[in-house]
Amino acid sequence: MRAVAVSSFGASPELVEVPTPTPGPGEVQVRLEAAGVNPFDGKVADGMMEGAMPHTFPLILGVDGAGTVAAVGDGVTRFSPGERVFGQFFHAPVGTGTYAEYIVVPESQAITTLPAEVPAVVAAALPTAGMAALTMLEEVGAGPGKTVLIVGATGGVGSFATQLAAAAGARVIATATPAAAERILRYGAAEIVDHQQAPVADQVPAGIDALIDVVSDAGTFAANAALVRPGGTAVTTVFVADVDALAKRDVRGININAKARPHLLDRLAAAVIAGTLEVPVEAEVPLDAAPDALTRIRAGRANGKTVIVL
């Protein structure tokens, strides 16, 4: 089968021909139709998980995907051949990813049935970013009467977090350049802050209830978190929160490591079907264009999600 992989940590991703994996006991083989691109994919290619999990090379990239179950191994009970599924397929060994025509995963993985109403491209854009958004909103208790600042609102995680926080009744202040502002306002943001004009912390009054920041370095995160009132919460997806320093101001700092769960995927798909969650697919690309797509995502200038169509 065709796949996009790196031959070693830090190498450039390239299109490769590899044997099609077959399912063992407890595993499902999925014929992928679409794979979502995440910044995490590039970090894995650089060796982020080295030492934490076993790896296999050539390391096929990608964790998010959607497709159809092609075969199942002995003892599989959750899925049957012909069933459409989507989810986060990240599992050990790292290197058997979704930038490929087929993937084999344990059936216990964070995958779930894909409802007929949701196209594969849309489903593949949801898992990692959507589950992170849901997890963070639960942590900050976004709801009526709460003001939440979302930094990085125009990307994958931020687009979902903005919509889900606004739908939960929170007042959302979101970062966006003028080119993306209309989309973020449509998502229910009450106010837009242009992060390219001036530091966010200079543009937002102190006293917010929560900060969700998916892009800032430690210094900028600390400045943004200084806007959070005592008793509030400041969350980062890039592990830069000084939890002890924040605790001294009675702010709960969280370095989130979002756990993937099938029930979260079901919630995301239900929101898409209900029309309450728009999935901004910025680009659909063929597999041989995946290396370039990943390079663009790694530059940090996403305006929605990029999806590989297989």
Ligand X SMILES: NC(=O)c1ccc[n+]([C@@H]2O[C@H](COP(=O)([O-])OP(=O)(O)OC[C@H]3O[C@@H](n4cnc5c(N)ncnc54)[C@H](OP(=O)(O)O)[C@@H]3O)[C@@H](O)[C@H]2O)c1
d(CA 5, CA 96): 9
- Which residue of this chain has its Cβ atom nearest to ligand X in the complex? 155
Interface with ligand X, residue 132, by CB under 6 A: yes
Site for ligand X, residues 176 to 195, rule: CB under 6 A: 177, 180, 195
Number of residues that this document lists for the chain = 310
Are 96 and 43 within 8 A, CB to CB?
Answer: no
- Report how far residue 211's alpha carbon sits from residue 230's, in angstroms, rounded to the nearest whole number: 12
- Is residue 228 close enough to count as binding ligand X by CB under 6 A? no
CB of 156 to ligand X, least distance (A): 3
- Angle (CA) 227 232 238, round 5°: 75
Q: Is 98 in the site for ligand X (CB under 6 A)?
A: no
**Interaction mask 29-68, ligand X, x per CB under 6 A:** ---------xxx----------------------------
For ligand X, the closer of residues 129 and 170 by Cβ is 129
CA pair distance 272, 125, nearest whole angstrom = 12
Is 300 a binding residue for ligand X by CB under 6 A? The answer is yes
Write down the least CB distance from residue 258 to ligand X, Å: 4
137 or 297, CB closer to ligand X? 297
SS3 of residue 287 by DSSP = helix
Find the binding residues for ligand X in span 100-119 (CB under 6 A). none
**Residue written as tokens 């963070």?**
136
Residue whose token pair is 């997890």? 135
Q: Is 154 in the site for ligand X (CB under 6 A)?
A: yes
Other beta carbons within 10 Å of 30: 31
Q: Contact between 151 and ligand X (CB under 6 A)?
A: yes
Which three-class secondary structure state does DSSP give residue 254? strand
- Integer Cα distance of 187 and 209 in angstroms: 20
Interaction of residue 238 with ligand X, rule CB under 6 A: yes
Please identify, using beta-carbon distances, which residue of 260 and 310 lies nearer to ligand X.
260
* 152 makes contact with ligand X (CB under 6 A): yes
In angstroms, rounded to a whole number, what is the distance separating the alpha carbons of residues 256 and 56?
A: 27
233 binding ligand X? (CB under 6 A): no
Q: How far apart are CA 123 and CA 125, in angstroms?
A: 5
Kindly indicate which of the ranges 77-85, 93-101, 117-125, 174-182 contains the residues binding ligand X, using the contact rule CB under 6 A: 174-182
Residues in touch with ligand X (CB under 6 A): 38-40, 128-129, 132, 151-152, 154-158, 175, 177, 180, 195, 214-215, 237-238, 256-258, 297, 300-303
